[in-house]
Structure 1
Amino acid sequence: MRLPPYAALLGAQLEYAGDGTPVMRMPFAEAVIGRPGFLQGGAISGLLEVAAIAALRHALAEEGGGRIKPINVTVDFMRGGRDHDTLAAGIITRLGNRVANVEAVAWQDDRARPIAAARMNYLIERD
């Protein structure tokens, strides 16, 4: 799957959950540190966006492919990201003919305790 170049800058790697859905893993590294011992908010936001794109491209690939363009993004920060790997996954809430609505959540130790969440809308141009 093709990911945005920003994924490489974050050091984010694509993994797959047991059900085959994409999950992004971002290791804690110098490039993503904000204040000492914590992730920078932009890195968390970027990871959420990459996770949403991965989920959307995965779903579109199953339907023959397509291109996407972001319309808007809203991020909610819930707690500070500590010095651990961070995981993120996108959940498509609506995949229409021209617009997709995607939620993404980032967590570290426990998916039930997210550090941030986002809602994104994308314009779709199907192949």
Structure 2
Amino acid sequence: MNDTKPSSAIAELVLEVRKTREYSRLTDAIPYTRFMGIGVENLAGEMMCRMRYQPMLIGNSFLPALHGGTLGALLESASIFELLLKTETPRVPKVISLTVDFLRSGKPQDTFARAIITRQGRRVANVRVDAWQDDRTRPIASAHALFLLAEP
């Protein structure tokens, strides 16, 4: 079937990126992250995601504030990239559940996210992720996610 070709190509790309740490090769290969302006970067020796500000990300134009769905996309993407790049999973993890806490309005500027794997079993992983803009100690959103992993 043709289904296996794209996933095997992504699996090969993930293996390559794990070695080279050229994270943009992975995010550029995914149309959704390209469209949303979400990239993985190594900032101060730490892997994190950045969602570059674009006017289309605004949900409330009166404030203006980022749309909650865009923040959810950033949090989910950061979690998936953390699992892809820090575990041995050969395929993209599937979301079982994602609970987002919106803590304050996101301003029209770049937003960062950092995910941490809090528990990983053979088939399931728990991930905690925070998003912030100006001050990492004042997150604008956080999430807890549960993912189904493919066995290596």
Normalized against structure 1, the TM-score is what?
A: 0.89
RMSD after superposition: 1.5
Residues in 2 aligned to 1:16 and 1:74: alpha-carbon distance in whole angstroms: 26
Q: Which has the larger radius of gyration?
A: 2
The alignment covers a number of residue pairs equal to 123
- Structure 2 match to 1:8: 34
Give the structure with the higher percent helix. Answer: 2
Q: After TM superposition, give the deviation of residue 13 of structure 1 in Å.
A: 1.6
Give the structure with the higher percent strand. Answer: 1
- Give the percent of matched residue pairs that are identical in Structure 1 and Structure 2: 42
Q: Which runs of 5+ in 2 are unaligned?
A: 1-13, 15-25
Residues in 2 aligned to 1:28 and 1:126: alpha-carbon distance in whole angstroms: 36
Matched, 1:100 2:125: yes
Instruction: Give per-residue Cα distances to partners, 1:13-32, cap 9 Å, x unaligned.
Output: 2101333x421111221221
Q: What does residue range 1-127 of structure 1 map to in structure 2 within 5 Å?
A: 1=14, 2-3=26-27, 4-19=30-45, 21-36=46-61, 37-60=64-87, 63=88, 65-67=89-91, 68-127=93-152
**Secondary structure of residue in 1 paired with 2:53:** coil
In structure 2, the CA distance between the partners of 1:103 and 1:126, relative to structure 1 (3 Å rule), is: same
Deviating 4+ runs (over 2 angstroms): 1-6
Normalized against structure 2, the TM-score is what?
A: 0.75
Which structure is richer in relative contact order (CA contacts within 8 A, separation 6 or more)? 1
Contact 1:6 1:46 in 2 (8 A): no
Q: After TM superposition, give the deviation of residue 126 of structure 1 in Å.
A: 2.5
